[in-house]
DNA sequence: CACACACCCTGTAGCCACTACAGGGTCAAG
DNA sequence: CTTGACCCTGTAGTGGCTACAGGGTGTGTG
């Protein structure tokens, strides 16, 4: 299997595959006489695993850790649980932040009184509020 | 006001301020005889504006655009509305994705049957599912 | 006066997970 | 024989900072 075929099969960009090889996530395949990478079925499996993890927004360092568990099935897997838990915690924290953010943006959007000059723009006015020490519609400047 | 004082006042790292200056977001201040940056009140205002936008997760290029409106209050501000709207759209899309992600992670977490060897780990088993073409608890590999 | 320590300066490199070239080689079809 | 699709390596760019290295300045203490 050439790199382009692997890319299509795994729904991944060719450059991404080379990148995974470079950082040691995907083992370097053998080469055809012309120097092209020649992949076997195992590579597709591993790449699918990586992409599945990435779809779950698991960081590549964590994916590497999971792959080590896959490669050595005799190890204790409590860390797998912990890894998924911390991932879940991270996602939930980000969800909270984004929900707050959405409320703030909606409040901001409602400031627009349909004027046509920036000088009268309620949104800009609102964004400038904290620079005057005023209370703003967001009420929380430290969201992130 | 020295850079450290400005940093404290705006709850920003010193390096971030220098970075904003480097990319042209914050105007270069005058210098004291010793070469230290000497900031005036306007700089704090502008920095507060930037941080407020950043707290709303508005990209720096968009912040730059908003600052242009602030600097020239006679321009049409319909673009301000559009910018906030597209921001809101982006945040909502990300919210949807994260909610899906959370459900997937919860489903994954529930796969753990409290085994102690990676070989029997339900989570690893589940993460490997797509590599065998099986249906996985996520049911959607293209979440991002 | 000597020294420590906090702060300031510039410039560069690192982070993450890719993405996008530049500049070249290989191969099959028409 | 040329076109075009694919492959190769290596490097640089993205965003929004953050973290040095290697120096200078200013203030307080012994």
pLDDT in tens, chain B (144 residues): 999 999 999 999 999 999 999 999 999 999 999 999 999 999 999 999 999 899 888 899 999 988 988 888 777 778 888 888 988 998 898 888 888 888 888 888 887 766 666 666 777 777 776 666 666 656 444 433
Q: Which residues pair with A141 in a beta bridge?
A: none
What span, in angstroms and rounded, lies between the C-alpha atoms of B112 and B106? Answer: 11
A129 neighbors A135 (Cβ within 8 angstroms) = yes
Are A104 and A117 in a shared domain? yes
Question: Shortest CA–C1' contact from B23: which nucleotide?
Answer: D16
Please check whether residues A8 and A57 belong to one and the same domain.
yes
Asked whether residue B62 falls in the same domain as residue B17, the answer is yes
- Identify the residue whose Cα has the smallest distance to the C1' of C8: B36
Cβ proximity of A108 and B56 under 8 Å: yes
Residues of B in contact with A137 (CB under 8 A): none
A13 and A68 share a domain?
yes
What local confidence, expressed as pLDDT, does residue A60 receive? 95
Do A137 and A81 lie in one domain? The reply is yes
Q: What is the pLDDT of residue B3?
A: 97
Which helix (H) or strand (E) segment is A37 a member of?
strand A37-38
Domain boundary among A27, A45, A73: A73
Q: What is the pLDDT of residue A114?
A: 64
**B52 and B21 within one domain:** yes
pLDDT of residue B18: 96
Specify whether the CB–CB gap between B143 and B104 falls below 8 A.
Answer: yes
Q: What is the pLDDT of residue A32?
A: 96
pLDDT in tens, A73-101: 777 778 888 888 988 998 898 888 888 88
Boundaries of domain holding B96 = 76-143
Q: For residue B12, give the CATH number of its domain.
A: 1.10.1660.10
- State residue A141's pLDDT score: 41
CB B133 within 8 A of CB A10: no
Global pTM exceeds 0.85: no
d(CA A117, CA A121): 6
Q: Which of B12, B39, B73 represents a domain boundary (last residue)? A: B73
pLDDT score at B71: 85
Q: How far: A53 CA to D11 C1' (Å)?
A: 28
- Residues from chain A that touch B81, judged by Cβ atoms under 8 A, are 109, 112, 123
Same domain assignment for residues B66 and B24: yes
Q: Which residues of chain A have pLDDT under 70?
A: 113-120, 129-144
Whole-number distance in Å between B41 CA and C2 C1':
39
């Amino acid at each position: 299997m050439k790199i382009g075929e692997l890319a299509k099969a795994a729904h991944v960009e060719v450059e991404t595959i080379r990148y995974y090889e470079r950082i040691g996530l995907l083992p370097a395949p053998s080469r055809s006489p012309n120097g092209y990478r020649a992949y076997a079925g195992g590579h597709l499996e591993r790449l699918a695993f990586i992409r599945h993890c990435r779809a779950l927004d698991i960081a590549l360092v964590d994916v590497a850790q999971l792959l080590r568990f896959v490669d050595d099935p005799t190890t204790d897997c409590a860390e797998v649980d912990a890894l998924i838990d911390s991932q879940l915690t991270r996602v939930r924290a980000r969800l909270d932040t984004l929900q707050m953010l959405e409320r703030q943006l909606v409040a901001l959007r409602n400031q627009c009184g349909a004027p046509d000059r920036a000088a009268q723009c309620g949104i800009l006015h609102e964004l400038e509020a904290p620079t005057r020490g005023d209370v703003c519609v967001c009420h929380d400047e430290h969201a992130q």
